[in-house]
Structure 1
Amino acid sequence: MGITSFAHAQISVSFPVTRTVIQRDNANQADLYITGKISQAVSAVQARLVPRSGEGGTATNWQTIQNNPQNGVFSGALKGSGGRYDLEIRGVQGQTQVGSIAKVEKVGIGEVFLVVGHSNAQGGDGYSPSIPYEESNQVFRDQVNTIDFRETSPNWNAYWYQTASADLLPPLAPSQLCEQCGMAPGAPRWFWGRLGEMLVQRLQVPVLFYNAAIGGTNIELTYKAAYNIPFQHGFINYNLRHPYINIRNTLKKYVPQSGIRAILSGHGVNDRGSVGKSFEDDYIKLIAKTREEVGQGRLAWLVAQDCWIGGKCYGRYNPGDADNSSEHITRAQLNLVATVSDVYAGPDLNTIESDGRMDNLHFNQNGQKRAAEGWVSAITEPQKNISFLTKSTPVMAKAPVSATPDPVNVTSLKSGAWSDPSTWNCNCIPAYSSEVTIQKDHRVSVSGLFYAKTIKNQGELVHLIN
């Protein structure tokens, strides 16, 4: 019996996680917020960024992110420049490091985008197989990230067809955008992986994609769902607020943690029957709603010129126009860029004609390649002397909620497993800063790793061998 003290400071990092990408500002800088737990009292928690070979970035020295953390939790921020890093965190007492260094690999400061639109933005093998990555560019490919959510994911059906609740979407735990991966809230890789690869190569920073596009949708339906205006549709479920709910969930669940550079919009084909001015007005209201969601009036949009289906589309720009031969949707899209603040020109997808389409509409692999090239040009190259990456105002990440303090005084209620919450008076599992008492006649079994600040063993602590 007696008190056993764990002599080293164990550190658990709750944010960021591996492959997190946070949005950089126009000076190539960002505050990387860090939260976690530490098992021992220290005078400070420090962190530093260690660049990964060939992945950009600038090393930082050890910097204090919090002095005298209390109740076993810490939070703070570290400023870094664009690139990808291994983040290291340690506790110190005075000038002396306590215990070992915790590491989070592949933490990025770069560019974050949300894709919206119809089927040519969502993609799918039902149209044409996704364009592959370049085989020679593995180092760039590994820096293209997403939240992998697809039809085989456990919550897919419940999210898409029953609730559309953001709680059913995966947490912000990115993965590399693999050939079979989905992009939360729910689109396949399509050509966006190739776009990401080219962006990484040109910008020397990692990228993160979300994708809220849904095939068969248009601006009118998205606007109505955003403002809770009922509509009837054969397969778009207004009752779940499709198609806008995917945009809202992304902006509410993920963007506060990651920030975002812009929304990339590929709408227009399914709006060809609309009056151009009505399309334009609905688009403006939709853009305003997204800015309201994030609390950033300058959330940037890149709007593609997109209305090609077996040729250019024509219609009335104004309701009373007698002439039905105006390129009405293209005119409206160009008007948005010319007149609405912080709306920029995306690619002209109408230049992708029959040789880039498999059915006079959906991109084949040649069309996907050209679409990716068009988007990378719109993002990285000046358009009419306007540099999008210089002029746009990104939405920066916010400080995450601090980790919940560990239970401090934890006492056994009965014999049982350490990992069984019912063993303890807190109905929890002891953690990094817990002072644990095993009462007389109680037998507590442990296997694998377990944590505590101290253990007062008045009973029996049994180590099971797996």
Structure 2
Amino acid sequence: MLKKLPLLLCFWFISHVVVSQITITSPVQRQVIQRDLANKAIVTIVGSYSQPVDELQVRFIPVKTGQGTALDWTVFKTNPRGGLFKGTVTLTGGWYSMEVRGLLRGAVVGNVSRIERVGVGEVFVIAGQSNAGGSGLRSTNETASSDDRVNCANFINDPGYGTSASYIKNFDSKNKSFVTTTTDAFSIIEFSQLSKDVTIGPLGIGPYYWGKVGDALAAKLNVPIVFFNVAWGGASVRVWRESAENPTVGAPSDFQFDSGNINRYMPGYPYANLKAVLGYYGINMGIRAILWMEGETQNLLNLSVEQQNATLPLSQQKPLPVTEASYLDNLKRLITRTRQDLGNDNLTWVVARTSYSGVLNCGVAGALPPKPSPVIVRAQNLAIADQSFSPIFPGPFTDNIQVDKIGDRDQCVHFTGSGLDEAANSWINSLTSPVSSNDSRNFFDLNAPIMADTIPAVNLTCISNQKLGLSLPAGYSAYQWVSSNYEIMGNTKDVTVGPGTYFAKITKPNGNIIQIPSFTVNANTPPAAPTVSANADLNYCEGTTVGLTSSDGALYEWVASNSNTIVARTKTFNIGTNGTYSVRIIDQNACLSPLSNGVTIVSKPRPVQPTISLKSSTEFCDGQSAKLSSSNVGAIGYLWSNGLTTQDVDIRTAGTFTVRTLGSNGCYSAPSSGVPTVVNPLPTSPTIRATSDTVFCEGSKTRLTLTPANANYVAFNWERNATLSGENASAIDISTTALVKGYVVDAKGCYSKPSNGIWAVRKAKPVSPVIYRVGPYLLAARSTQPVDEYTWSLSGQALATKDTLIRAITEGVYTLQSKRRYPILASASPLVCLSPETSLVTYFDTKSSSTLETAEFKFPDDKGISIYPNPTSGVFSVDSKFNLEGVVLKVYTMAGIEVYVSEKFDFNSRRVLDLSNLPTGTYLLRVDSQSYRLTKQLIITR
């Protein structure tokens, strides 16, 4: 009897959803999905959710390090509806814990649901007779799997296992108790680790030796393994073939104890179980191969006839019932039927070479000894070797296992004890060993598996708080909706049900069944239709959008009425296409509302697309600009991509620039074609320095040099007082006052930013002074500008005096320069500038009453004393060309009367003689010193 695990699983879902928002219904615990030759499989994830989500993610974590390749959080479904979800991911072979979470607008919602064990690996279906399915000696003949990755479909519930009441221990020899009246109850229920106390469903009696086979394969391939077992004790290949080809008639048993041939199998069996497993589990999980082990019953039939013939005359002896041709024909027809029923000619069979058996009651006295059958093994080998019948692969040869001693095998057929280990090793070797010494590939490298079919999605429609609608895609030949208590709820693709737990089965045209994993649903009243508001005029400008906003909901679906397609899933929908739009909301129960009233938007025309004309090059140096101009057809305004609003613009940055024109209806045109601009970087500023003083006298100069920062230049230029000079030289001379800066110019003609500035300052030199002869022996320096110092020279020799007035005591050429001192910042020494040298002496000629110049100074013929002016009104200047000491001046009348005597003085400069108190007349002036005496006439007139 089959476990009613689907019902139990449904109850678990109901209780689980009370505290959880995400429920996983597929894959189930320990389910294994068949991998492909690239070690990959598409895993379908099915479940339900009870809070609004717009994205579902899954991740797979290896149960142990190295047991697979982790897949981090991956989106497998977006915008689910109705509380149910289905999606797929591609997963690498391995043994995983699986987690699913829901997100709403990027944030995790509710719980993270987890399946502790799920895998991508190998799926096998075991078929044949008892040496494939297991014997009744379960307590002594089981080899449980020690690897957590080895699994089975644990159909049979044996609560008395390990006691005398064990169902399996006391099994019915005809296996009727293992068969349900229909295979419709098959379901993706639960899987178990292949431990000692489970069975390999639907018919396998305990682990037998398959646990050891599974351990070896899991270790070798590093993927999980799952077994199904439909082997039927005593069922020959003929019975299998006949039950496949005539499913409505029970196939006669090979063990008839009367002449009426009344012992028959149930109609369709044992093949019905194989067909159901292939068409159900093979479709939903994929399958690597059928592992076939049968031949013992066929040999037993031949041995029984041989034993009878041994007592009969030759003329009465019967032919052997099983021939090489009959076995080969039955096997080929059976394989062909499985591929037809699965709908895939690539279904692989692995055929064991096995035949060793004895007659019934082989242990009684006189029974023919057990032995192998070369006829049957040859037929098996012929099937394997037939390339037109590929894919078919050689399984183990077992006729050499446990044959040394009669009785080692249970009933002369079933492996026991160490024979189970040998049988397991034989299967392991046949599946994993290289095909030949020259070809290292094995069975798993050469035989492509059948991959799992796609599970279609169930759509849910909220009707009321009592009813909901469920639907499946069209195109299948049959539908079946089943409740948690196995009540058939409907046989069409659409069904209306109440809240509860359901699963569904759909039948493909070839009869294969895809199961929709069980799911729990609640009935809810759908929300009312939302309302829509707009943020702009519905008569909008072409090229812009109108924002349509829905009233509140958990999720949103905007629909274009002309196509009935979803165009947006946000509360506010910005649309720029003419049409009528409606929205429906999804509430917190994942129910869809009716569509809102439609909102129609119609566009206004925009001006023609403008063009941009270039008024300068679009490639320019940093700091310069490109001049662009927009066309003006139909334009009352302009809007450039950089925000400027004039028809002509100066662009100073790099980029691509467009312009839109504004029309009289308030609409902007489409942007013009873009005009790219290129801004060439400036070369690095050079450094300027002076090689001489930058403050200099008029007539002198300073030299400035320019040092580039790097080699990115091809020319120089200079700036004087903010005016470029055009000088292409690394050094220039400056002779005027100016603020000087330098530039380098690169290959693109770009000027660097200016160098540091240097002030060149030209100081004016004094104007040429004038030498005035202010007395017969006195020369005076005169200048129209301030002078700090004078320099006198006589006939090329500098005089020591710096005075403005000097006594000329020697005839010759006198020259004069004026000197100006300029203080210099950061220098202790001033700048000294000299005037041009003056060599002409200016004097007043009394004879001509005019000013004259002379190049050479000569003394007057006055014997060394000069009186001037003379005559005068009484005030005379008296000068001597000699420096006299102890001089006394005396004045006499013509009568010799002394009228004036001076104090004694040193005569080294002009003296003023004031005789204003004397009457007019002629007088005598006597100059008297120890070394010099002279008398001259004075005339006073008034």
Q: Name the CA distance, whole Å, in 1 between partners of 2:412 and 2:192.
A: 34
Partner of 1:223, secondary structure, is helix
Match of 2:216 in 1: 198
Could you tell me which of 338, 342, 347 is aligned with 2:385?
Answer: 338
Between structure 1 and structure 2, the one with the greater Rg is 2
* 1:305-325 CA distance string (max 9 Å, x none): 1011255434xxxxxxxxxxx
Contact 2:500 2:521 in 1 (8 A): no
Equivalent position amino acid for 1:25 in 2: D
Note if 1:397 corresponds to 2:452. Answer: yes
Equivalent position amino acid for 1:372 in 2: A
CA pair 195-55 structure 1, distance change in 2 beyond 3 A: farther
Could you tell me which of 180, 198, 212 is aligned with 2:230?
Answer: 212
Note if 1:349 corresponds to 2:420. Answer: no
Could you tell me which of 272, 277, 281 is aligned with 1:250?
Answer: 277
Equivalent position amino acid for 1:254 in 2: Y
CA pair 392-454 structure 1, distance change in 2 beyond 3 A: closer
CA pair 127-85 structure 1, distance change in 2 beyond 3 A: closer
Contact 1:83 1:204 in 2 (8 A): yes
Could you tell me which of 294, 315, 325 is aligned with 1:267?
Answer: 294
Match of 1:324 in 2: none
Note if 1:232 corresponds to 2:252. Answer: yes
Partner of 2:280, secondary structure, is helix
Partner of 2:61, secondary structure, is strand
More displaced, 168-177 or 145-154?
145-154
Equivalent position amino acid for 1:221 in 2: V
User: What's the offset of the Cα at 1:96?
Assistant: 2.1
Spell out the pairing of 1:81-92 with structure 2 (5 A cutoff). Answer: 81-92=92-103
Spell out the pairing of 1:27-38 with structure 2 (5 A cutoff). Answer: 27-38=38-49
For normalisation by structure 2, the TM-score amounts to: 0.41
CA pair 164-401 structure 1, distance change in 2 beyond 3 A: farther
Spell out the pairing of 1:62-141 with structure 2 (5 A cutoff). Answer: 62-126=73-137, 129-133=140-144, 138=146, 140=147
Contact 1:159 1:169 in 2 (8 A): no
Q: Name the CA distance, whole Å, in 1 between partners of 2:235 and 2:138.
A: 16
Spell out the pairing of 1:309-458 with structure 2 (5 A cutoff). Answer: 309=357, 312-314=371-373, 327-339=374-386, 340-355=389-404, 357-384=409-436, 385=439, 387-403=442-458, 405=460, 407=462, 409-410=464-465, 427-429=498-500, 434-435=523-524, 453=588
Match of 2:352 in 1: 304
CA pair 127-207 structure 1, distance change in 2 beyond 3 A: closer
CA pair 38-117 structure 1, distance change in 2 beyond 3 A: same
Q: Name the CA distance, whole Å, in 1 between partners of 2:325 and 2:139.
A: 33
User: What's the offset of the Cα at 1:159?
Assistant: 8.0
Contact 2:372 2:399 in 1 (8 A): no
Partner of 1:97, secondary structure, is strand
User: What's the offset of the Cα at 1:191?
Assistant: 0.8
Q: Name the CA distance, whole Å, in 1 between partners of 2:237 and 2:443.
A: 23
Q: Name the CA distance, whole Å, in 2 between partners of 1:163 and 1:42.
A: 42
User: What's the offset of the Cα at 1:302?
Assistant: 0.6
Contact 2:52 2:589 in 1 (8 A): no
Match of 1:415 in 2: none
User: What's the offset of the Cα at 1:118?
Assistant: 1.2
Answer 1 or 2: higher relative contact order, Cα 8 Å, separation at least 6. 1
Contact 2:58 2:98 in 1 (8 A): yes
Contact 1:40 1:433 in 2 (8 A): no
Note if 1:143 corresponds to 2:149. Answer: yes
Aligned residues with identical type, % of pairs: 30
Q: Name the CA distance, whole Å, in 2 between partners of 1:379 and 1:404.
A: 43
More displaced, 401-410 or 102-111?
401-410
More displaced, 169-178 or 57-66?
169-178
- Say which structure is richer in helix: 1
Contact 2:144 2:208 in 1 (8 A): no
User: What's the offset of the Cα at 1:150?
Assistant: 2.3
* 1:246-305 CA distance string (max 9 Å, x none): 111111222211111000010111122311111101111111111112211111111001
Contact 1:71 1:433 in 2 (8 A): no
Match of 1:16 in 2: 27
Q: Name the CA distance, whole Å, in 2 between partners of 1:333 and 1:101.
A: 52
More displaced, 11-20 or 45-54?
45-54
Note if 1:286 corresponds to 2:334. Answer: yes
Contact 1:38 1:433 in 2 (8 A): no
Match of 2:182 in 1: 165
Match of 1:48 in 2: 59
Equivalent position amino acid for 1:393 in 2: A
Equivalent position amino acid for 2:229 in 1: N
Partner of 1:182, secondary structure, is coil
Q: Name the CA distance, whole Å, in 1 between partners of 2:47 and 2:21.
A: 11
More displaced, 386-395 or 234-243?
234-243
User: What's the offset of the Cα at 1:433?
Assistant: 6.1
Q: Name the CA distance, whole Å, in 1 between partners of 2:227 and 2:521.
A: 34
Partner of 1:410, secondary structure, is coil
For normalisation by structure 1, the TM-score amounts to: 0.79
Q: Name the CA distance, whole Å, in 2 between partners of 1:411 and 1:243.
A: 44
CA pair 185-69 structure 1, distance change in 2 beyond 3 A: same
User: What's the offset of the Cα at 1:403?
Assistant: 4.7
Contact 1:308 1:350 in 2 (8 A): yes
Partner of 2:399, secondary structure, is helix
Match of 2:789 in 1: none
Q: Name the CA distance, whole Å, in 2 between partners of 1:162 and 1:93.
A: 48
Q: Name the CA distance, whole Å, in 2 between partners of 1:83 and 1:295.
A: 28
CA pair 173-42 structure 1, distance change in 2 beyond 3 A: same
User: What's the offset of the Cα at 1:429?
Assistant: 4.4
User: What's the offset of the Cα at 1:130?
Assistant: 2.4
Contact 2:499 2:522 in 1 (8 A): no
Q: Name the CA distance, whole Å, in 2 between partners of 1:427 and 1:94.
A: 31
Q: Name the CA distance, whole Å, in 2 between partners of 1:360 and 1:283.
A: 24
Contact 2:128 2:232 in 1 (8 A): yes
Match of 2:726 in 1: none
CA pair 128-359 structure 1, distance change in 2 beyond 3 A: farther
CA pair 282-99 structure 1, distance change in 2 beyond 3 A: same
* 1:143-193 CA distance string (max 9 Å, x none): 111111226389999984775411334533211122121111111221111
Match of 1:442 in 2: none
Q: Name the CA distance, whole Å, in 2 between partners of 1:146 and 1:404.
A: 32
* 1:86-115 CA distance string (max 9 Å, x none): 111111223222222111111011111000
Contact 2:395 2:427 in 1 (8 A): yes
Q: Name the CA distance, whole Å, in 2 between partners of 1:261 and 1:105.
A: 24
Contact 1:299 1:394 in 2 (8 A): yes
Contact 1:22 1:30 in 2 (8 A): yes
User: What's the offset of the Cα at 1:333?
Assistant: 0.9
Give ranges in structure 2 of 5+ residues lacking alignment.
1-16, 161-166, 257-262, 303-321, 358-368, 468-483, 485-495, 502-519, 527-586, 591-942
Match of 1:320 in 2: none
Note if 1:184 corresponds to 2:243. Answer: no
CA pair 9-115 structure 1, distance change in 2 beyond 3 A: closer
User: What's the offset of the Cα at 1:379?
Assistant: 1.3
Partner of 2:460, secondary structure, is coil
Instruction: Tell me how many residue pairs correspond in the alignment.
Output: 407
Equivalent position amino acid for 1:232 in 2: P
Contact 2:52 2:588 in 1 (8 A): no
Equivalent position amino acid for 1:85 in 2: Y
